[in-house]
Amino acid sequence: MLKPSAFPMSLRRLLCFTALLTASFVLHAQEPATSDSIKRGEYLAAAGDCMACHTVDKKQPYAGGLPMKVPMLGTIYSSNITPDAHTGLGSWSLEEFDRAVRKGIGRDGRNLYPAMPYPSYAKITTRDIEAMFEYFQHGVMPVKRAQQPSDIRWPLNMRWPLKIWNWMFLKSGSFQADEGQSAEWNRGAYLTQGLGHCGACHTPRGVAMQEKALDEHGAGYLGGASLSGWDAYNITSDRNSGIGEWTAAQIAQYLRTGNVPDLAQAAGPMGEAVQHSFSKLNAADVDAIAAYLHTVPAVHDNSARPRHAWGMPATDAVRLRGVALPASKDGADASDAARLYLGNCASCHQTEGHGTTDGYYPSLLRNSTVGARSADNLVQVILFGVHRVTPGNDAGMPGFANELTDAQIASLSNYLTAQFGNPEVRVDAGGVAKLRKGAP
């Protein structure tokens, strides 16, 4: 072996410099994440609503295992994203995490199903990806929980067609600010399009289950869609079909609490998004989202009035027993439906449907769920209830899936829409049964 003195002085200096540089790089690469970066990553993970899909047991957050139905294929289960070295992200590199989140490619090189909203997450900035990685590596308790295999059978479980899907529909590149808009608008656009992935639920999908638009420049963006038996309503600026009549303050209140009296209450997947994501954002970010949503081009679906505009004001409401309703297709007459309402609903929502003055029990008059063009969300709420916890605005409504039959729930739903909401909306026992089993 050559001694150091055998090298020319200039080469020895170069070798020493290289060694110092390499040591410095290794130390930097192994430097633990700072508390500030971990805290920032935690905030970003909340903005991305990672908790909703990757948590089944609240005592084991991010351990995965949540079943998710893939249309026409079957059920897949969310992955463990805790820092467990064997079943989670503990041995992942930043590059592998980035590739999964923004490109939809797993550590094993297989494509992920777009149930993981990577078409939206593609817009996340590199800086935010790095902070999220530090949080999941250093700010989450490791849980050993192996990946549950999907029930999708061969040949439908082959992943290579997803490469074609990505080539056709995935737009790479993080969010680019619009210089013609304000800083607030751009922040709202970034959160809505990217981390918040609002379009994943609220934008209609094409024949290949792709979102028809990924931002406000595409036709139909945020124009409403139906997923897993829930209607994700039109949230564009259209005054009748969307939320064009809502003020920015009302949008912000809805995102923070899930409840705007005499307007809308969040339930189901949207209730989860409010609880786990939007309610944890700071006021500036929530206001930015509201400001951006106010500008999304209107998408109209021929609605005659806004969803929340149906029903008489509570002060003019007539008592239920004075209202005559037609018999339902399931053979239950109006008096049966009225008794169902009085026996199951009136103790909270009041006999006249106006709820309580503090808004804890919402009014059924001028209610966007009761006035919607479809009864699916109303039926889901009756079946499974509402469970939403937000700062200072918890909501708890019991479900009646075990107490009422499909025919009774159909009769009750039709009574509610006729009495308080859109009288043109009807549902039958078969539709209730489908939702009870878990659509689609």
Is the model's pLDDT at 13 over the cut of 50?
no
* 78-87 pLDDT tens trace: 999 999 999 9
* 359-392 pLDDT tens trace: 788 999 999 999 999 999 999 999 999 988 887 6
For residues 257-282, give the mean pLDDT. 93
Q: How far is residue 126 CA from its own chain's centroid?
A: 22
Specify the pLDDT at position 21: 40
Cis ω on the peptide bond leading into residue 155 (within 30° of 0)? yes
d(CA 260, CA 257): 8
Nearest to 81 by CA among 65, 69, 99, 67: 65
Is the model's pLDDT at 120 over the cut of 50?
yes
Q: Report the length, in residues, of the chain.
A: 440
Sign of CA dihedral 166, 172, 174, 176: negative
Is the model's pLDDT at 340 over the cut of 90?
yes
Is the model's pLDDT at 320 over the cut of 90?
no
Would you place residue 220 in the very low, low, confident or very high pLDDT band (cuts 50, 70, 90)? very high
Would you place residue 439 in the very low, low, confident or very high pLDDT band (cuts 50, 70, 90)? low
- pLDDT, mean over the chain: 87
Nearest to 256 by CA among 389, 356, 69: 389
d(CA 422, CA 379): 14
Would you place residue 335 in the very low, low, confident or very high pLDDT band (cuts 50, 70, 90)? low
Of 135 and 58, more confident: 135
Is the model's pLDDT at 290 over the cut of 60?
yes
* 190-208 pLDDT tens trace: 999 999 999 999 999 999 9
Is the model's pLDDT at 94 over the cut of 90?
yes
Could you tell me the end-to-end alpha-carbon distance of the chain, in angstroms, rounded to an integer?
71
Is the model's pLDDT at 4 over the cut of 50?
no
pTM: 0.85
For residues 7-27, give the mean pLDDT. 41
DSSP 8-state symbol, 195:
I
Of 72 and 382, more confident: 382
Specify the pLDDT at position 323: 45
Enumerate residues 6+ apart whose C-beta is below 8 A from 110: 159
Enumerate residues 6+ apart whose C-beta is below 8 A from 194: 120, 121, 122, 123, 124, 174, 175
Is the model's pLDDT at 420 over the cut of 60?
yes
DSSP 8-state symbol, 326:
P
Yes or no: say if 395 and 268 are a contact pair by the CB < 8 Å rule.
no
Q: How far is residue 47 CA from its own chain's centroid?
A: 10
Is the model's pLDDT at 147 over the cut of 50?
yes
